[in-house]
């Protein structure tokens, strides 16, 4: 296999689906988890990790055929990959391109890791709310119990 074919394989285009680019390096598996893609998924999935990037140094890319993405999933991706861009592909063409944005508060996406937090009590009419205290690196604080979370704890708190 020559170098050109190799490159073609890496950047193989998809007919319909989504391309998530500029994922913070090492985070592609977390993106797949957010999208609920596991070994039962039938369509083609391409993952590129540690790809050289001018902006990020290194980045991950995920391409999924025949899959759309909703705003809830985009918000989750924003938490673990704040620079990601979402490209929607129809008939080999990018029909929509947008950068994820981290909202000031994140509602209903994370489960508070504090078992004593009111948001983990059954039957109370409450959704989790996390306030973004710091963007880089990301630090979030539960609006209710005020517990701050960062790093891997954030990834572990994303509800699937």
Partner 1 sequence: MDWNKKHIISIKDFSRDEIDYVLKKSALMEEKLKSGETSSLMKGKILANLFFEPSTRTRMSFEASMKLLGGQVIGFDNASMSSEVKGETIVDTIRVVSAYSNVIVLRHSVEGSARLASEYSEKPIINGGDGANQHPTQTLLDLYTIQKEFNTIDNLRICIVGDLKYGRTVHSLTNGLENYDVKLRLISPMELRMPRRIIKGLREKGIEVEETTKLNLRDCDVIYVTRIQRERFPDPQEYERVKDAYVLDLKTINNIEDDAIIMHPLPRVTEIKPEIDNTKHARYFEQARNGIPVRMALLCLVCNVKF
- Give the footprint of partner 1 on this chain (CB under 8 A): 114, 116-119, 121, 123-126, 139, 142-148
Minimum distance of partner 1 from residue 141's CB (angstroms) = 9
Minimum distance of partner 1 from residue 114's CB (angstroms) = 6
Q: Between 57 and 125, whose beta carbon lies closer to partner 1? A: 125
What secondary structure letter does DSSP report for 61? E
Residue 45 CB-density burial (10 A; 0-12 exposed, 13-18 middle, 19+ buried): middle
Provide the pairing of β-strand 105-107 with 93-99.
unpaired
22: nearest Cα among 97, 83, 63, 74: 83
Q: Between 4 and 123, whose beta carbon lies closer to partner 1? A: 123
Q: Between 76 and 143, whose beta carbon lies closer to partner 1? A: 143
Provide the pairing of β-strand 139-142 with 148-150.
antiparallel
Minimum distance of partner 1 from residue 136's CB (angstroms) = 15
């Amino acid at each position: 296999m020559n170098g050109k074919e190799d490159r073609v394989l890496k950047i193989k285009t998809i007919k319909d689906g989504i391309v998530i680019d500029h994922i913070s390096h090492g985070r592609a598996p977390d993106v797949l988890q957010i999208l609920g893609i596991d070994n039962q998924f039938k369509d083609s999935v391409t993952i590129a990790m540690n790809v050289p990037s001018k902006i990020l140094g290194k980045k991950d890319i995920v391409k999924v055929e025949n899959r759309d993405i909703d705003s809830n999933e985009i918000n989750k991706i924003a938490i673990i990959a704040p620079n990601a861009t979402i490209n929607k592909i129809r008939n080999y063409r990018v029909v929509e391109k947008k950068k994820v944005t981290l909202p000031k508060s994140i509602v209903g996406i994370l489960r508070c890791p504090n078992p004593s937090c009111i948001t983990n009590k059954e039957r109370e009419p409450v959704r989790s709310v996390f306030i973004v205290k710091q963007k880089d690196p990301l630090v979030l604080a539960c609006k209710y119990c005020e517990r701050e979370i960062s790093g891997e704890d954030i990834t572990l708190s994303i509800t699937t």
